[in-house]
Amino acid sequence: MLQVKKFNLKAVLNPIFLLIFSALIFSNLTDQYLQKQVEELISSKDGLSNIIWFWGFISILSAILFPLVISLLCAFLLVSNQQKVENKMSVFFAENIELSLIEILRSMGKVFLWSFLLIIPGVIKYIDYLLAPFVVMFSKRYKNGEVDALEYSTEISKKFWWSIKLWVGLFYVIIPIMFYALFDELRVFSEHPISATALTFVESVIELLFHFIILKLFIKFLNNFENNLKNKIEATNGAYV
């Protein structure tokens, strides 16, 4: 059975949290560097060049890979398997990173298509597919090939629709807007390295807290639904024996 660890000082002091913090620092540094490159291209007297496509590609790559790595780290730190079959982070990454990336790319493609209609349908689909990486990481039904990650994510998300929408609104909209309004200049590493590092630490704690809340909902569903389903199947098989 899966279990979500408590969110406390012990979690923040865990060495894995340092990796989450480091990943966010690299992510912010990369974003700021890419932003500077694009701004220089836009303001260039020679006009835009084809190199902007390269920076655009790197920007998209960064926007996909860094959140994925951070999610994997948060999930590994927060979720424990009571059976403890294997507890090595390298094994956890090797088993989940490729499939998680594939499902994220699938979800982004569908969200992009839905966003062509209106912004709201795209946002709804984004929330529906938010749990797809966790389906890859922790769902036995997915690992057994019984469910599609995006469809299963949608099914679970609808069970906690208002809760997930509330938390996504808080952590992905309200808090980032507050950070931008209050600390935008202080987040620039080249000008304010100390304050930028401190704010990134706060972002890391917030990121871990968001994953803790969402994983609590997700693991609750898995433990209740998949275990009950397994028990029903075993009971049915036993009745035929």
Q: Which residue has the tokens 């690299």?
A: 26
Among 124, 122, 152, CA closest to 136: 152
| Residue type for position 134 | F
Among 99, 90, 161, CA closest to 130: 161
pLDDT > 70? residue 231: no
Judged by average pLDDT, the poorest of 32-46, 173-187, 198-212, 217-231 is: 217-231
Is 239's pLDDT higher than 50?
no
Q: State the pLDDT at residue 116.
A: 76
Q: Cα separation of 228 and 234, whole Å?
A: 10
pTM of the model: 0.87
Q: Which residues contact 92 (CB under 8 A, 6 or more apart)?
A: 72, 76, 86, 137
120, 152 contact by CB (below 8 A): no
Tokens for 215, please give them. Answer: 């994983």
